[in-house]
A and B are shown apart, each in its own frame.
Chain A
Amino acid sequence: MLKSKKISLSHNKLSASSIFILVILLVYTAFLAFLIFWAFMVAFQTTDKQIFNKCGGAYYKMPPHFELHFAEVIEKLQLNGLPGEAKQNFFDILRNSLLYSVLSAFLKTLIPCLTAYACARFNFKTGKVVYTAVLMAMIVPLVGSQSSELELVSKFVVGDYSLIIDNVIGTSLLKANMLGLYFFVFYSTFESMPKDYFEAARIDGAGNWSVLFKIAFPLVKNVFLTVFIIEFVQFWNDYQTPMVYLNHRPTLGFALWQLSFGTAGAALSNPVLAMTTVILCALPVVILFIIFKDKFMGNLTMGGIKG
């Protein structure tokens, strides 16, 4: 059967319409490849390049030699910290980024996973109520709550210490909710698991915690890892949440935006340094993508939610 599928699908000849699609796809990918190529080409040029140009800089003309500017970017990338504090340097920003992305992604994966387990594994009304709440929150689009949320989180203060604003752990906890599509992904995974596994373990005397850690988690670990990686990339790239909630604890995503509009832009306004910063910030997720590309692309399906 597999062989026949391979044969039938791999011997598709190009018709006029598929050639048309191929041309559009080629234009699309050529544009993407060109942008990435341009960024690399500029990043490794000399910073005094613009003196040769008429209109501000022609980087498509290759220089006689190439240079690396990572050290210069690391030294110059500095953003505001809390009032009275020293500026946040590259390593502070990197630490904020890692903490924010890893913790938020972990919590944003763990909470829906545990909630889905609690709803799918036990046949109590509480589980059904929670399931309905997640479903309703997903399909009823409530808008305009950010101002209300900001008003609320501004009050989470103990003395001079803010529990959420400019607090990476607090902001990650704010994001640690059960809502979203991945709750349903975990729910259907747990629901499709044979109930016999859990019952046999209970008969053998295993408690609820043992069943969760020794049976449920090992069976769901692939889905968990996939969701975690996808969430990590989203948090790593996100700049709008850090801009509002972590303005004085900047992440690399926020630093990138600052490159165009904020204080980082002044020090790194030279296109060569700007492109070096761009590469430095994008590199971790690109490496992650290359390592886990099958997990990223293979598990990417979405169906309609019935109900």
Chain B
Amino acid sequence: MRVRRKVSDSKKSDLGFQLLLLAWPVIQFCIFYIYVNINTVRLAFNFGETSGGPFVYLEYVSQNPEFLKGAGLSLLLYLVCTAISIPLALLFAYYIYKKFKGGKLFRFLLFLPSIISATVLIIIFTKFTAYDLLVFQHDVLGVEVPVSITSGEFKYVWVVVIGFYLFLNFGTTTLIYSNKMSEISTEVVEAARLDGVNRLQEFWHIVLPGVWPTLSTFIITGMATIFTNQYFLFTFYSSTAVTTLGNAPLGYIIYNSIQDAFLSPQSVERAPVMYHNMAALGILITAVTIPLVFGGRALLKRFGPSEK
């Protein structure tokens, strides 16, 4: 009897301790995740407001041409960036994993853009393009009226924006892939080489399946951020990206609208409407993204290579 009571007391004390440890994270989660998301639904569907119906903001954002154009651009940018970055990152990772010439140095240099902030590198780049590159165009290339390659006047400005986004992003991805590749059993690779497998076959049949869980995680998390990725446009252009480039992805539009509504001197009048609009836009994006992510996940599981 006494032993059972002791066990029960100890269990109670363990449960009390666990609840104590979980108190802050759970309260924080309830307020800043559950309540905030419920409030997003309230804002989006205009609950508790006397004017307008429940779909007034949803209708507005779903018919707004700027948001529709932004959604299309977000999708296009995701496809282009994924199509370029995944093969390149895998090839770079394979190069580092195979310890080819300079692999260690590249490993170090590829990681630097994740340490030095994107803002630092973008400021250096924009200052360089606004000063020395203009002089270079004028003095060396003989261009009469040089144009900054980050300005809207430059024909290939989107190539510059996408290129810089990829430059800043895929270093870390490459390293994660190469670290994952280094977990592949050396015996398997050696046995395959002895069987006469060439590099392409080794990459396709051994390395790619080995790195697949990581790769599919990246693809899925990438899908989840299709409509929230800002592609560093706010760092490049502040609130002028739409006027400079003619269009901007939804992630940029959302952040720019919210910060503008919150920080501008007229925010007292503008913020409430903007909050409703952005919450409605968020709900629409969530409604599109959730099936996309789960569908994508199922497809990758079904058709992806097996490690076995």
Q: Which residues of A contact B (CB under 8 A)?
A: 1, 4-5, 8-10, 12, 14-15, 17-18, 21-22, 24-25, 28-29, 31-33, 35-36, 38-39, 42, 53-60, 111, 114-115, 117-118, 121-122, 124, 126-127, 130, 133, 137, 139-152, 174, 176-179, 202, 208-209, 233, 236-237, 239-240, 243-244, 247, 253, 256-257, 259-261, 271, 274-275, 278, 281-282, 285-286, 288-289, 293, 296-298, 300-305
Scan residues 56-90 of chain B and give those whose CB is less than 8 A from a CB of chain A. 88
Nearest chain A CB to B31 CB, angstrom units: 8
Please determine whether A22 and B101 come into contact, CB atoms closer than 8 angstroms. yes
Q: How many residues of B contact A (CB 8 A)?
A: 114
Nearest chain A CB to B14 CB, angstrom units: 5
Give chain A's interface secondary structure class: helix
Interface string of B281-304 (1 = CB under 8 A from A): 111011001100100000000000
Please determine whether A38 and B132 come into contact, CB atoms closer than 8 angstroms. yes
Chain B residues with CB under 8 A of A289: 111-112, 115
Q: List 12 A-B contacts (CB under 8 A).
A: A18-B98, A21-B100, A38-B124, A55-B146, A141-B293, A145-B37, A177-B28, A177-B32, A179-B33, A293-B111, A301-B176, A301-B180
Please determine whether A148 and B275 come into contact, CB atoms closer than 8 angstroms. yes
Given contacts A17-B199, A144-B254, A152-B35, contact A130 B227 (CB under 8 A): no
Please determine whether B36 and A152 come into contact, CB atoms closer than 8 angstroms. yes
Given contacts A55-B135, A147-B274, A282-B120, contact A126 B18 (CB under 8 A): yes
Nearest chain B CB to A177 CB, angstrom units: 5
Check B123 for interface membership: any CB of A closer than 8 A: yes
Chain B residues with CB under 8 A of A137: 29, 33
Number of A-B contacts (CB under 8 A): 306
Scan residues 247-263 of chain B and give those whose CB is less than 8 A from a CB of chain A. 254-255, 258-259, 261-263
Chain A residues with CB under 8 A of B99: 9-10, 12
Given contacts A141-B286, A208-B14, A302-B214, contact A57 B135 (CB under 8 A): yes
Give chain B's interface secondary structure class: helix
Please determine whether A147 and B279 come into contact, CB atoms closer than 8 angstroms. yes
Scan residues 1-17 of chain B and give those whose CB is less than 8 A from a CB of chain A. 10, 13-15, 17
Task: Please report the C-alpha to C-alpha distance between residue A256 and residue B124 in the assembled complex, in whole angstroms.
Answer: 11
Chain A residues with CB under 8 A of B289: 141, 143
For B234, the closest partner residue in chain A by CB is A240
Please determine whether B138 and A118 come into contact, CB atoms closer than 8 angstroms. no
Please determine whether B132 and A18 come into contact, CB atoms closer than 8 angstroms. no
Chain A residues with CB under 8 A of B290: 140-141
Chain B residues with CB under 8 A of A58: 131-132, 135, 139
Check B106 for interface membership: any CB of A closer than 8 A: yes
Check B159 for interface membership: any CB of A closer than 8 A: no
Task: Please report the C-alpha to C-alpha distance between residue A282 and residue B119 in the assembled complex, in whole angstroms.
Answer: 10
Chain A residues with CB under 8 A of B21: 114-115, 117-118
Check B224 for interface membership: any CB of A closer than 8 A: yes
Please determine whether A130 and B116 come into contact, CB atoms closer than 8 angstroms. no
Please determine whether A177 and B18 come into contact, CB atoms closer than 8 angstroms. no
Interface string of B36-60 (1 = CB under 8 A from A): 1101101110000000000000000
Nearest chain B CB to A54 CB, angstrom units: 6
Please determine whether B116 and A302 come into contact, CB atoms closer than 8 angstroms. no
Chain A residues with CB under 8 A of B271: 150-151
Please determine whether A244 and B217 come into contact, CB atoms closer than 8 angstroms. no
Chain A residues with CB under 8 A of B124: 35-36, 38-39, 275, 278
Apart from the given pairs A56-B131, A253-B119, A304-B217, 18 other A-B contacts in the complex at a CB distance below 8 Å: A12-B99, A22-B95, A35-B128, A36-B116, A55-B131, A141-B224, A141-B225, A144-B279, A145-B37, A147-B261, A147-B275, A147-B279, A150-B258, A177-B33, A257-B235, A282-B120, A285-B115, A303-B214
Please determine whether A18 and B25 come into contact, CB atoms closer than 8 angstroms. no
Task: Please report the C-alpha to C-alpha distance between residue A9 and residue B274 in the assembled complex, in whole angstroms.
Answer: 57
Task: Please report the C-alpha to C-alpha distance between residue A122 and residue B14 in the assembled complex, in whole angstroms.
Answer: 7
